[in-house]
Amino acid sequence: MKDCIYQFSVKTITGEQINLQQYQQQVMLIVNTASDCGFTEQYKGLESVYQKFKGEQMVVLGFPCNQFGAQEKGSDLEISQFCTKNYAVSFPLFSKIEVNGENAEPLFKYLKQQAPGLLGSQKIKWNFTKFLVDREGNVLKRYASVTKPEAIANDIEQLLSQ
């Protein structure tokens, strides 16, 4: 298999190991999330984008992370309950991970290599950094925490129309 996102397996928030190949031929928006952050409100936008495009083979994948200001302290169960109760999140959530450092989730190491940040930085600077992946598993673009999910909708729409 060529070097792409489908080579990775990740653990869902309920503890099940899945391969990202199951999202083949779908546009993916992959995000590191947190429940107690100034950007936590973006869960609403992420869910809105997911609802708008999920029927067109698009998925949002949320990866909780506690590396920035300890803003994701809860267990996977607590995170799942928080997201469902407060933001009616229905897109897939995954087990809490690290996105930087030697214990960084391999998927995020790959994402950072494929779509570096400002000045080529491979570090993720904060929660709610987003990566857009096309139907072939190629990482196309990285969006900063401040970029609202709704602002990415046009890029998603373009990919879906190809």
**Which pair of tokens denotes residue 49?**
């984008």
Query: Amino acid letter at 38?
Result: G
DSSP H or E run through 131: strand 130-133
* Rounded-to-integer distance, Cα 14 and Cα 12, Å: 5
Total H helices, total E strands in the chain: 4, 6
- Partners of 65 in the beta sheet? 97
Instruction: Considering the candidates 4, 37, 65, 83, report the single residue annotated as catalytic.
Output: 37
Question: Any catalytic annotation for residue 37?
Answer: yes
Q: In what order do the strands lie in the sheet containing 27-33?
A: 58-64, 27-33, 130-133, 139-143
One DSSP character per residue, 109-124 reads HHHHHHS--GGG--S-
Catalytic center residues: 37
